Each structure stands twice: as C-alpha cells, then as structure tokens.
C-alpha cells in the first residue's frame, strides 16, 4: 500500500524525517526512500527493505543528510522518491495509490515523445507517470490537479520543491493525509502514529483532493477539498497502525468496537477469546471485554527474531516463516474451546494452517470471528500487495465451488441476509475446519467506524462504487 | 542470562540446531554461537548479536554447516561455544550461570601453569574456566561433577563430544534444562518454547545437578539429580518466554495467575487495565480477566522496526530507543483512569519516563501493579545483565533515603506486613508519581507459580538462601 | 573518461559481459553498470565503485543475470545504464563523452515539457539527455544520428534494444570503439584489452561517427563512418591499457616508442632509468632499452593492498594513499643519478611529493622525462576527471607566474622552439626541484604513435581544433 | 609464511600499527590480526583476509583502537594474535614459523592437564602451543627461550605484555626480524619495507635466537644472538617484498644480481627479455640490463581489478583468476623470440598454461630462466602454503618419471654438473614445451645474495641441513 511522510522545519529536521518515515514501515515491504533539500542540492537515498528494516538500511545515510525540508516513503513496489528535472524546476516526488489507466497515459506521453527512465524489468515507474502529468502544466498546483483529474484509481503525493512541500490527498480521499505541528516545524503524514513521539500534535486531516503547500511557517491552501469522501474502510480493519487516526477516528479504539459488535450478537460459549497475532488482537480484546470471557494468548509470536512479515520471494521460505513465528502454548489450547478474532479472511491458506496447528495441539473447538464481512470484490482503488487476485479470495473460491463459476451472483453473496451468503460462509467454515465461523456484518462494521456508510469505500465487501 | 540448546539426530540436524538456538534469543543480547560435529571436525561460529538478530547473523553459516549433533548458545556476555583440545579429546562447550569464585579458581589454575586464551578486554572467559575444571578429571562425567562441586554460583552446561552431548543442570537447578524428543532426534533446551515448532515433545525436565549423555538414540543417566531444588522464580515472572515451561509449569498461564492474584485483593476502580509492553502484558490480562475490567493497549509497540530491546552501548541512544518504541494512543489515555501491570520494578528509570508520558498524554490516574514483591537483594546465583547493582534497585534507593544507608533493616523492608515496607513502597510510588502502587505479595507469587516455596529461589525479594 | 562493452551471443553471455566490462575498470572510478535483455525483461545493476572493485560489487548480480545480449559501462560520473521507455520501445543505454551544450539541449527539452528523472544532486544525467535526443526521431538509427549531430563535445554509445545492440562511435572518433568476434558471439568494446582473454579476435575498429547494429549473427552497418578523424592522442600516452590498440596501434608498443624518442635526443648520464609507477613504466622501458642505461625500480608499489587509485573524497586521505602506496628502495636511490619517465605532468603536486621523497632518500640527481609536451589547454572534447581546471595545469601556472595572467601567449608557450617555452619548462623544473626536465616534442609523440597529425586530437598541447 | 609487526611509542601509535602490519600482506593470505594495549585492557581484532584486503577488513577496527603499544600479524593459517591469561600475567602473542613436533608437545601438555581452546576444525592453534610452552617458566624471557629450545622447525614471535613487546627471532634465524626507530617510537618487523613510509629507519637486524624487549624508550637485550645463522634464501628469491632487506641485503637489488648471473653465462638470442608478472620481473630486469637485450612486457597484469593472488578455495575459480589476470599483448609476442625470467618453478602447472598462451598468441620461441635451482626437497623449517607436497614439485615429478620413484638419487639430481640433473631439466623443459630452460646454479644464487653459503638455508635445492 505504501505511506508518505514529509517535514519542513526552521532547523535541520533530518532526524524527524528518518523516524517519521520509519513509522510508516507497516505499510510496505519493498522499498524505502528519503529525499531532502540542502542548499541547492537534492539528496536522495533508496533502499530495498524486503530483507531488512528501514532503520537499519537508512541509519548510515541519515548521518550524511542535512536539510530543513524532506520527504520520505515506504513503498510496496517501485523505487521512490524520484528527483525530477523539469520546466517547473527540480523536485522530488513520492506517491501512494494505483493508476488503473497507466497504459493509456503512457501511450499519450509517448505520442509527445516523452520518455520514462525509471524502469525496472521493463515496467514504467508509476511515480514517474505522475511526474510527467504534473509537468504538463505551468505550475505545481495546476500540474497536481491535472494529474489527479486524469488518473483513474487514486494518487496521494508529496512534492519537495524549493518553495516547500506540496501535499495532495487523492481526489476521493481513499488514502489519508494529516498535518501535524510543533514549534518551528510542520509535518504531513499518511499515518498519525508518526506524530506523538516526534512531538507533533495532529493539526487536521486533509480533505479529499485537497492540495496544500507545507513550509516551516505553516500550511497554505492550494486547492480546496472536494465534497465526496470514499476513504478505505480497511484502514481501520487491518492496514492502519493502532496508534493512528483517520478523519479523527482512532484505529485501536475502532477495533475494540469491531470486537464489541462481534460479541454483541454472539452466544457461543468458549473458554478463551484470542486474536490471531497481530492482526486480530485488538478485535479480540474488544470481543473479550464485551463478552466477559477471559482473553488469552494461546499463540505467542516469537518477537525477538521474527519481528515482522518480511516477504521472502520463495513460497517455501514464506511458509516456514509463518509456521516458526507463532509458538503454540499447549496449556492454553489442549481441551479448550477457543474463539479467535481476526481482521479478515483473504485467501485463508495461512489461517487454515493455524487452525490445523490448534487442533494438533489438542484444541476442542475453534471458532473464528472476522472483524469484517467476506471479501468478494478485488480492490481497484488502492495498490495492495496482500490480495493478489480477486479469484483467490476465500469467498470467491467458495462461490466457484457452489456456482461452477466465480463471478456469479456476487451481489447476493455479499448480502448477509441471503441464503447464498449463508451457504458460502458455511463452505468457507468447512474448508477451514472451523467449529463455527461468523463474519462481521457490514452495518456493524460501519457502526464501529462511526462514519456514514456513504463516506466509506466498502467496495471489496459489497461492490459499491 | 543466556540459554542453551543441543540436538542429536539420526539425520543432519543443523536446521533444528539453528532454530532451536534462535528460540533462546530472548535470554541474551550479546553473543550467539553454534558448534557442530561433522566427521572428524568441529565447526563453530560465533557472532556479536548486540546489533542484529541471531538469525540474520547465522543464516549464512548454517548453510555451510553439516552434522548430526550440535549445540548452540545465546549469551549475555562471553564468546561461546569454545572448542577445547584436552586429554579427554576435543569437545565444544557452552554454559549458563555465574562463577562467584572465579578469581580463586583461576589462581589455582595458574599455580598449575594452566593458561586461558579466550580473553576479551583482559577478562577470562568463564566458560574456559569451566573447561579447565572439567579437564582435571579422567572422564567427562567426573569432570563435570567436579566443576559443579567447586563452582560457587551456578553452572548449567552442554558438552559436544564425539560420543554425544553431555547435558548438566546446575547443582541446585537454578536454571532449567529440559529434554525433548521426536522420531530420530533428541534435544535439550533451556527453554521449552524451542520444542513445539520443531516437532519435539517435552520428555522431561532434568533435576538439580543431573548429568546425562544425549545421543540420537536416547538419554543416558550419568549422574542422578540431587534432592534440593532452588529454581529461580523470576523465570516465570520475567525471563522465560510465555510458551516455555519449567518443572512442568507454563509461563504464560503462571503470569495470568499472577495477575489474578493481584486483582483479587484489589479494589481500585479504573477504566482500563493495561500491561507495560511486553513484560507486563500477560500479568495485565490475568488481572483484567479476574477483575472484569476492560483490558486495553494505551501504548503500542512499533514492532515493524523496533523488534527487540537491542542494547546500544550509549545511554543516549538507549533512551531514544525506549522513547521511540512505544507509541501512546491518546484516545485510550486522555481523561482515563489506567491500571498498569508490570513484571517488576528494577531501577524504575524507564518506568518513570513511561508514567510521565502517560500523564503528558492526559491520563487522569495511573496505578501500577508489579507482579512480584519489591527487589531488595541483588542476585548472586545467576548472571543477569538487567540489574547492574543492588544499590540501584528502586527499593534500595528508597531505603537509603529513609534510613540514610542502603543496607539497613533489609529484612523488615522485605516483610510486606511491616510499616517499613509500606513506607518504602510509598516512597517509590511518590518518586514514580503514581496514583497508587501495590506490589504482589510473595506468598501470592508463590501460589501463582504453584511450587512449594522451599523449592524456589526467592532471594532477591526476601534474602532467603 | 569511461568505457563501454557490449556483447551478443547465441548462448548466454553474461560471463563475457561481466569480464568484458571489468576490463574497462581503468577508465573510471565512480560507477559501474550492467544491463542485459532476458526474455521480455531488462535487468540492470548499477554500483558505486569508488571504494571497491567492479568485480566485488557485481559478482553477486552476475549470478542472477541471464541473457544472450548485454551492455556494460565503467563511468567516471553518472549512473548508467539507463533503462528508457519510449515510443521506440524499451532500451538500455550507456554513453562515453562530454556534452558541452547540455544546458541549451535541456532548455529545448523543457520547452517540450520533457522531464529528466535521473538526477543526482540536482544535476541532469547526461546519458538521459542523449536518450531524450534519440527519442525525437522515428528510428533508433535516426535518433542516434540526430543526437550526434546536435551534441557539442563527443558521444560514443551503446543501445541495447530488442533487435540487438546499436553501437555508435562519436562523430569525430575522439573515443574508440572496436568490434571483436568469436564463434557464436560478437562484442564491441572501448578497449581491445577486453578481447583476448575472452577469446575474441579484433575484427575492426569503428570509424568516426559510424553506427552499426550488433547481433550474434554479425554487424550491420547503419551509418557509414565520416571522413574526419580526431582520436585523442592521450589514449596512447596515458588512458589506454597497455594491451589495447586503437586504429590498429598497440598502446604498450607505442609507449616504448615514446620512450625511445625521448632517449634519442637525450645525452644525460644517469645510473638508472625508472618510471613513475604505473603510468611512466612503459615509457621508461622504451627509454632504457634505447639508451642502453640500466632500467630499475627505485619505487615499488605495494600492490597487495594498494591495488588501484581509488579516489577518496577527502584530499587528506588522498595524500595519505599517494604517500603510502609507493615504497622507496634506498639501495637504488641513495647517491644515485636517476632519470624518471612519466606519461605527463598535469598539476604536478603529487609528482613534487615523489621527487621530494627521492631526495630525502638520498638521490643525487633526479631527471624527469614526460612522454608528451606540456599540457596547456584544458580538454573540451572528452570527460576527464583527471585535470580539473586548465588553470591548475603546471604549464598554466608557470605561464601565470611569468606573464601575470594565465591565458597569455598560449600559442608561443606551446611551441617547443620558442624562448617562452624554454622559460616555462625551466620554471616547472625549478618548482619541482628537478635536476633536469625535458618534455617530449609533439612531432616526436606523433611519430611514436604513427598516425598523421591531422588524424589526432592534440588540442591539450597545441590548441589545434 | 606470515609476517609480524610491533610498535611501541610515546604517543598513540595505532596508525603505525595498522599500516606497518598492512605492509606484510604479501606474506599471507588467510588471517590478519591486531592487538593493542590500552590502559588495563587488551583489544584484539582478527579477520579472514582470504577474500579481501587487510586494510578493508581492519579500517573500521583501527578507528576504535587506542594505545601506545601494539602488535600485528599476517598469517597464512591460524587465528592470531591470541590473548593469553597466565601466571605471567595477560599477554598477546603472534608467531611465524612451523612446529614439526607439535604432536609430541601437545601430548606432554595434555599429560599435565593443559588444554587448548583455540581450535578450528579440530586442529590446535600452533600459536597457543607456543604460549603454553612459554607459560612453563617463571619469566617471559625464560619461557621464550624454553619454547625456542624445544620447538623443532622455527618460531619467531612477538609478545605484547604490560612491560613492553618481547621480540624473538627463531633459533637459527630462518625468518628475519628487524628493529626500526624514529623519534619517540621503536618498531619491529619481519619486512623492513614497512619502515620507510612510516618514518622508521632500520636500526638493526636481530640475530638468530636473539630475544629483546622493545619499548618506546629503546631495545633491551634479553638473550644474546646465537652463532649459527640459517636464513631462508628463498626470501630474496621470491617471498620478500622488493623494498625489504634481510641481513642488510636489499631484495630488489639481489634479484637484479640474480638476473645478471643468469645472463652472464647465457648465449641465447632473443627479441625481448620479460618477467612472469610479478614474481619474475626484477630478475628479468637484471637479465636484460646485463645482456643488453630489450626488456618488454608481453603480458600485462590487469591490476585495476586483479590486485593480488587471492586464494579461492575452488580450483576452477583459481584457474579462471590465473587466466584472466594476465593479458597478452600480441604485438609483443607474435613471431617473437621471448626469454622469460621467473623466480622459481614450483609445480609448474600455472607456468605451463602461461607458456601455452604465449604460443597461442604466436610466439616463435619461449625460453625460461628460473632465478634459483630446481626445487627438490620440501621445506621443513618454514610454514609455506605455496608448495603443498614435495612430490608435486616439477623436479620430483620429473625424477619419478625417470627413476620410477620420486625419492631416488636426490643428491645427484641436485648437482647441476651431473647428467641426471641435465636429464631432469630437459624433462621439465619438455613437459612445459619450452624452447629452452636454464636454471640458476646454486653457487651463482649464493653469489647474488652475497652471504656465505653456510649462513643460508638452501635445503630445498640441495638438501643441506
């Protein structure tokens, strides 16, 4: 998915740039990058973070960096930031989002003899496409507006120029951007969890399509926000860090409410409520607190050496990592009835393995409670590495088994009051060998978040565009 | 403190050696080492793990290692394993423990013209001292028995020889050692959390002073266990990994019972129960479940890049790490009454900082509930890096303030029914600016563990030897 | 300066690509790069080689590279190869040369809303400028021709496309390019020293401005060579590797002839003839052989650990390296009359230090014989890192001391029969504290090379354009 | 073989320690090590230098090292320096040489219950054996004397103690040690080429078996030198660096004399005299100067990236390195009669390949002139990695072919006036496909060195003990 961080300060702010970007590490696993403006020069560093943490890769670089303004990025795919020379001047650019119509935009550019040089494996760097769009206009603000108008998908971005940092949230606000302030500094971040430990207070959340120019002296409005908001509801369910907030709504607390909603309608009797680490933990806490059932940790993560989900390229290594990271505690499993909360079920392959290990460790019953409805539609608005193909989704596979094809009656399957929905859920439950499986209802999820449904993107669950 | 792992197998077992040792990473921060026996040769690798995880340091080595027997160590201090040439043959050795009378033992060795070559900074490697003691006898078993007889402190060890792996638990069983089995392989480990994901079942826990020879074919008794057991109670409170068990008693479950004991006598009214991450979490869960008060996570650890407590040499960096690792969630703190469980209070400096940050984030009340009594005596039986000096202990500092000297009336201060105890606790509470502070009572801790008090070492709390 | 290597083969040719590029390492100290075409993909690797050898940086990459066509570069400045997406398709590009009119070309490109993304420190990558020029036309051949037509300076290049490798020598042939062949493979290289150990025979040298398409099946002419040749004479004097040949003329043999020419007119009586390592060695051998004076090595390079002239950024470290790399042999220096050959005198600072050390080691006389005339004009046709500024040249400094300004009467100072020339040379001799100093005459240098003067660029010595 | 360097100074001397040890890099390819005494502590660093230069491995360490005394080592085999704790106090030790009777010495030590802990692959570290011998006595001087008395083979060593650096040359002076001085510092080195660039002047060469205590204030005699000297003649022929001197006799100049001796009796008519790089170059210069035949470089080493003979473990890689490192210059080879000087012929396998490549490049004749007689006996006094087994020597192989066994009539084969000698040489010539082969005569080699034959070890040529 990716995350952005920028900071402008009256003093050297490279330390804030480093830590602020680092606090977005949960949003991407492939590339990290920093760019700063020092005197007349732009300094940039990009590293592969697929096998090492952002901090270990950049800690030598940051010692050499100087400057009072900088931008950083954690990226799931391409190299960023790019340093672009153009008729607007030199600037650095980082983006988050997905360009659905990249091919058509590139074709138009080739027609004008524009080239792309940030290629890897023959693929054009999407951030360079954004830059070429911005360069078509006479000012940065116009260029950004044009880029956001023609891009289908979404694109939030930061531009480091000699005048300050342009920050733009994507047209429908699918991804967040927030402004933080402290004495002498202004920051902009995808995740507000980057703020408290650096001393920033949340100033405000940018609106959909809003463009501002951030300097150490403040925030200048370049384009007012639009009316329509379609922020991704999955940010609260899974992607966001517990300490972050979007539209003023904290993630951790939302997850407790998700768990509480799950518990409210539930009458299952179990010994312990637990969360699949780490994604289901907060949902489980909310459930346990509401249900009055003891919360426990039958699986513990071996954090000293399995800190995060590095993405080894080999599936074999990936499976190994998955199975070594969590250690079962037989005393909390054997002969026990266990209820697990999880954020969601994507393909379900890893979950299946976890459930099998629980039964092998002697579990008597295993109940699963995903904090959101079944995923039916593949996202076309954000750049997720997590769910590769819509057809691999546990829901879609069940539909294919039931209907003979995977794209039949999707609307009915996304309606939790339908028979087809119940059949699909039972099929998933049966494949995962669960004692019981109850998904969150979409209305309950929306209630837990607290925004009107029309301001949330719920496409992956109900196909609403 | 350090941890040991050994494995003997009918097949190549280097993968088990690697992961088994890795699962002891929580017990040490300075050195890791592996040794294997391949054909006629001993291969050994030692790395500094103070700035990187065990796995990242050894993953290249393990690809080159071959063998059907091997031992590994995570060490808080010295380089290990040592490969020793002696009249008994060549062997590899790893140890855990502390030698109080090292100076005297070295003097005797020098008298016999023995030398020590594993020096670092002029200090003799304690494991080499153990080796020289073993070498004084005609057999490994006699040598180990001699070493354990003359060492004051404690010494559990593994010896990799051409006949198999000698495993010896220290004379009074202060540190644990357990045997695991699976088809074709036998393992020995300090922490049983190393077993489940490698397919080992716990076979049994070695008794105090017991010596065995482990081969792929089984476990041969070389010296029967002694009567007296003095296992360190702190293993359950703090050092052990949640998934481990000692004397058949699981750590995580014990911590829930600790929290439950704390809750039972408590009448404070709070909004949330929380744990200081990660050490206080299980205690807090036990408290919340028992008290029926919602459990929450007002602080979250930024695990993607702050995976573990590396020990930077500079205090400045250490403080930085401490303050950056935990992110406060204002929504769960502001105007809230919070009760925090923690494993123990050692010096209290970092805790003080955490409490200050809670109040800065708007906490209304902060109550602290350590899962064990105040630490009054410095450990002389194990090799802890955690508490440097007894005089730095929060309890001893309070005593010094009250008495003018830090070693006065220690027994009275360790009696929770005494006035002096209450005064001391209030002094600590006041220094930490806590709303309330209630330590676990020793009897309740002993009850939570479930062994008779006489089989536990409780020296650091009550001075009982 | 930089060097290029490309290869097309019926089999995988990555090993040839690796070693062939490696054999250009003497031409650049900053960046190395490789690109190969595998299936539909372009793989590219670029590394900083300023602190490590090309081979050590790329040996891991090359194991992962596959392909039957590839190009490589050793570059003194910018990152290369670039992978460019354009209306012509995707291609990789490497260049050698200098673009004098970069600013004007960039201005024109900005006018068309073209951008540059390969920036470092705010400077546009010259190879990207070349690419944007090529992209203006409808075919690669036309694009290359256009680029060479509008670039002032020089530009030799290789383009890796899906049809083969376009190789183009700069318009006036200032830098060389040669074709090599072996069974099933065709290669193109700046330096023919890359050929023999890979089994290639020199096929032919490309003519000035010639453009060809190289495939495994042969070489297709895309643009015939021009009439006028202005190949850099300095290639034979200093830049080229001894085993290379340009226009069919070997470097080492030419240097022997340079030394022979120096010896012919010389009547100085010395004990030993020596070369400043490594640049003066071949010239010295030619001198000693012709003069019948013993050749010796009063300075030896400590090659085991000072393999090449890495360019540390700090002048302090640079001076240290210079002084530690050469070890004087007092037995061959003390009370001796020594004649040193050197390729040329650029600024003379390091040479001054070397001479001082010779006298400190007891030398009785030190005579210097540069293999080319005094450098008077700064090169404007190639991209040298060696001589930073024309005004720093030893000759120009002497002229400034004599005339009060550094740009007066340059023509007279470049005429070795003039009084001004003699005065300048004596001023340099005196500053370097040499017993005698005699430069090669330009006619003798031209004779040693063996091409007509009109086909050589001698601008740096006589200002002839 | 290995080399030692030590320095004591009134100021911090870590830079001298670093560079002084680095200047011994030509003597070993496996391990490098440094130890310094700082305050009460010994700091030590050891690195594997088989794939990287000493300097690159130690440059980070040296920044952290402080001290006014230190020792360093380049070692072909074992880890060094060792830091030894003993009844004599703590000390660091480095050694050069070979212990023929190691097994017997170890047996005696085991009998006394002494152990060895510096094992690698089950082999005892010879330097630790030396340390245990030293520890048997009441003083360092007595201990060193005892060690040298009981060791069969040779052992030169440096001991860094809190009183200064003990330096001891082996009993018969087979390996050299020299003292250097500059203001405020005293150094001791195997190779005097370490001195000039650090500002040291050669003070004197230690005599055979001499033991001294080196401090910043001077050199205190601890044991006077013995009468008998048996310095290895091969040091001048091959091992020593050109800028070094032993017994006051410079290496480079000796090699010129070797070449001159070869030329004197030679009547072959050739176009060029050349040296096999780098080992034969100085011999060739001496030959060419004396014979009045042009010296040339038909092979040039590609020094920019093949700096030194790293010893890759795989023979395949080794052959590759050998063939890629030297580039033939066809212009200097084709149709030419070439005479090559070489230091010696060991196994001849690589030389055979070089000769083959010369003929492939069109050479008309290739004549070989080794600077020393045929090697017949394997060295038993020093620790050479170069010649693995006596039976692999080109001479011994020829003898085996002629006699049916490799150990027959060795004395006759080492007598250059015998028929057997001539037959053997012709057999070698024929195997190498040389036009002619003439070895140096032993008397001429001795004359070139300039010491009486009785003071040189010539065992490998004539078996004289």
pLDDT in tens, D17-70: 999 999 999 998 889 999 999 887 889 999 988 877 888 889 889 988 999 999
pLDDT the model gives residue D182: 97
Greatest CA span in chain A, whole angstroms? 70
Chain C interface includes D317 (CB < 8 A): no
Chain A interface includes C93 (CB < 8 A): no
Residue A147 near residue A169 (C-beta atoms within 8 A): no
Question: Which residues make Cβ contacts (< 8 Å) with residue B450, sequence separation at least 6?
Answer: B249, B254, B257
Neighbours of chain D (3+ CB pairs under 8 A): B, C
pLDDT above 80 for C305? no
Cβ density class D375-396: b for 16+ within 10 Å, e for less: bbbbbebbbbeeeeebeebbbb
pLDDT confidence bin for D318, thresholds 50/70/90 = low
pLDDT confidence bin for D363, thresholds 50/70/90 = very high
Determine the Cα–Cα distance for residues C312 and C323; give it in Å rounded to an integer. Answer: 14
Of residues D302, B425, A111, the one with CA closest to residue C135: A111
Interval D192-210: pLDDT, tens: 999 999 999 999 999 999 9
Chain B interface includes A200 (CB < 8 A): no
Cβ density class C102-136: b for 16+ within 10 Å, e for less: beebbeebbeebbbbbbbeebbbbbbbbbbbbbbb
pLDDT above 90 for A21? yes
Contacts of D52 in chain C (CB under 8 A): 56
pLDDT the model gives residue C309: 45
Residue C38 near residue C65 (C-beta atoms within 8 A): yes
pLDDT above 70 for A308? no
pLDDT above 50 for A239? yes
Interval C24-52: pLDDT, tens: 999 988 899 999 998 878 899 999 888 77
pLDDT confidence bin for A311, thresholds 50/70/90 = very low
Contact C43 A121 (CB under 8 A): yes
Mean pLDDT of chain B: 92
Contact A282 B297 (CB under 8 A): yes
pLDDT above 50 for D310? no
Contacts of A84 in chain C (CB under 8 A): 115-117, 119
pLDDT above 90 for C211? yes
Chain C interface includes D242 (CB < 8 A): yes
pLDDT above 50 for A105? yes
B295: phi then psi, degrees, rounded to nearest 5: -90, 140
pLDDT the model gives residue A432: 97
pLDDT above 80 for C163? yes
Chain C interface includes A64 (CB < 8 A): no
pLDDT the model gives residue C310: 47
pLDDT the model gives residue C306: 63
pLDDT the model gives residue D390: 84
Q: In B224-370, where does DSSP find H-type helix?
A: 234, 251-264, 281-291, 315-325, 349-360
Restricting to C residues 95-154, those with a Cβ less than 8 Å away from any Cβ of D are none
Restricting to B residues 167-196, those with a Cβ less than 8 Å away from any Cβ of A are 193, 196
pLDDT above 70 for A286? yes
Mean pLDDT of chain D: 92
pLDDT confidence bin for A122, thresholds 50/70/90 = low
pLDDT confidence bin for B311, thresholds 50/70/90 = very low
Contact B82 D117 (CB under 8 A): yes
Mean pLDDT of C151-164: 96
Give percent above pLDDT 90 in chain C: 79
pLDDT the model gives residue A316: 66
Residue B336 near residue B272 (C-beta atoms within 8 A): yes
Mean pLDDT of B151-169: 96
Q: Residue A425 is encoded by which pair of tokens?
A: 């859920």
pLDDT confidence bin for D121, thresholds 50/70/90 = low
Contacts of D142 in chain B (CB under 8 A): none
Contacts of D117 in chain B (CB under 8 A): 82-85, 116-118, 128, 131
- Dihedral of alpha carbons D389, D395, D401, D403, sign: negative
Interval A406-429: pLDDT, tens: 888 899 999 999 999 999 999 999
Range scoring the smallest mean pLDDT among A309-318, A453-462, B4-13, C372-381: A309-318
Interval A350-380: pLDDT, tens: 899 999 999 999 999 999 999 999 999 989 8
Degrees, nearest 5: CA angle D72-D76-D80: 40
Mean pLDDT of C58-76: 92
Contact A300 B256 (CB under 8 A): no
pLDDT above 60 for C308? no
pLDDT above 70 for C219? yes
Please indicate whether residue C306 or residue A220 has the higher confidence score (pLDDT): A220
CA-based nearest residue in chain D for residue B42: D121
CA-based nearest residue in chain A for residue C143: A113
Neighbours of C365 (CB within 10 A): 18
Paired strand residues for B456:
B231
Contacts of A82 in chain C (CB under 8 A): 117
pLDDT above 60 for D386? no
- Whether chain D lies against chain A with 3 or more Cβ pairs closer than 8 A is no
pLDDT the model gives residue B309: 45
* Inter-chain contacts counted by CB atoms under 8 A, chains A and B: 135
Degrees, nearest 5: CA angle A85-A86-A91: 55
Please indicate whether residue A386 or residue B190 has the higher confidence score (pLDDT): B190
Chain D interface includes C463 (CB < 8 A): no
pLDDT the model gives residue C323: 78
Of residues D140, D143, D101, the one with CA closest to residue D124: D101
Degrees, nearest 5: CA angle D192-D194-D197: 120
Mean pLDDT of chain C: 92
Q: Which of A136-145, C122-131, D53-62 has the highest mean pLDDT?
A: A136-145
Please indicate whether residue A161 or residue C315 has the higher confidence score (pLDDT): A161
Neighbours of A124 (CB within 10 A): 24
Give strand ranges (E) for B119-193: 119-120, 123-124, 153-161, 164-168, 178-182, 185-189
Restricting to A residues 44-63, those with a Cβ less than 8 Å away from any Cβ of B are 52-56
Residue B217 near residue B224 (C-beta atoms within 8 A): no
Of residues D340, D344, D356, the one with CA closest to residue D432: D356
Contact C86 A110 (CB under 8 A): yes
pLDDT above 90 for C174? yes
Mean pLDDT of A151-163: 96
Q: Residue C47 is encoded by which pair of tokens?
A: 């590394």
């Amino acid at each position: 998915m990716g995350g952005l961080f920028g900071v402008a300060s009256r003093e050297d702010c490279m330390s804030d740039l480093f830590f602020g970007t680092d606090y977005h590490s949960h949003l991407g696993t492939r590339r990290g990058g920093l760019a700063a403006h020092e005197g007349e020069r732009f300094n940039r560093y990009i590293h592969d973070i697929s096998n090492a943490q952002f901090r270990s890769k950049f800690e030598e670089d940051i010692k050499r960096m100087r400057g009072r303004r900088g931008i950083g990025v954690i990226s799931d795919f391409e190299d960023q930031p790019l340093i672009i020379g153009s008729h607007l001047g030199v600037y650095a650019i980082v983006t988050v989002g997905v360009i659905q119509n990249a091919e058509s935009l590139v074709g138009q550019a080739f027609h004008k003899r524009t080239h792309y040089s940030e290629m890897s494996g023959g693929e054009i760097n999407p951030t360079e496409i954004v830059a070429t769009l911005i360069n078509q206009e006479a000012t940065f603000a116009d260029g950004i507006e044009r880029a956001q108008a023609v891009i289908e998908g979404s694109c939030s971005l930061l531009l480091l120029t000699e005048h300050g940092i342009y920050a733009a949230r994507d047209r429908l606000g699918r991804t967040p951007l927030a402004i933080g302030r402290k004495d002498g500094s202004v920051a902009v971040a995808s995740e507000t969890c980057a703020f408290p430990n650096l001393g920033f207070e949340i100033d405000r959340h940018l609106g959909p399509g809003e463009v501002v120019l951030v300097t150490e002296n403040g925030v200048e409005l370049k384009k007012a926000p639009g009316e329509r908001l379609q922020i991704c509801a999955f940010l609260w369910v899974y992607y966001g860090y517990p300490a972050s907030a979007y539209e003023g709504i904290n993630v951790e607390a939302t997850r407790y409410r998700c768990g509480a909603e799950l518990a409210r309608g539930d009458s299952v009797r179990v010994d312990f409520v637990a969360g699949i680490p780490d994604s289901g933990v907060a949902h489980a806490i909310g459930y346990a607190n509401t249900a009055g059932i003891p919360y426990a940790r039958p699986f513990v993560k071996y954090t000293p050496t399995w800190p995060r989900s590095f993405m080894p390229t080999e599936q074999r290594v990936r499976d190994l990592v998955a199975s070594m990271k969590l250690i079962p505690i037989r005393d909390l499993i054997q002969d026990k009835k266990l209820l697990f909360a999880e954020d969601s079920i994507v393909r379900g392959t890893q979950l299946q393995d976890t459930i099998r290990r629980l039964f092998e460790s002697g579990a008597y019953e295993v109940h699963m409670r995903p904090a959101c409805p079944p995923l039916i539609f593949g996202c076309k608005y954000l750049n997720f590495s997590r769910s590769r193909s819509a057809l691999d989704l546990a829901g879609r596979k069940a539909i294919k088994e039931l209907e003979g094809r995977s794209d039949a009656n999707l609307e009915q399957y996304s309606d939790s009051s339908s028979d087809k929905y119940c059949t699909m859920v039972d099929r998933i439950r049966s494949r995962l060998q669960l004692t019981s499986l109850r998904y969150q209802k979409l209305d309950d999820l929306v209630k837990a978040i607290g925004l009107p449904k029309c301001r949330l993107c719920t496409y992956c669950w109900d196909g609403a565009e």
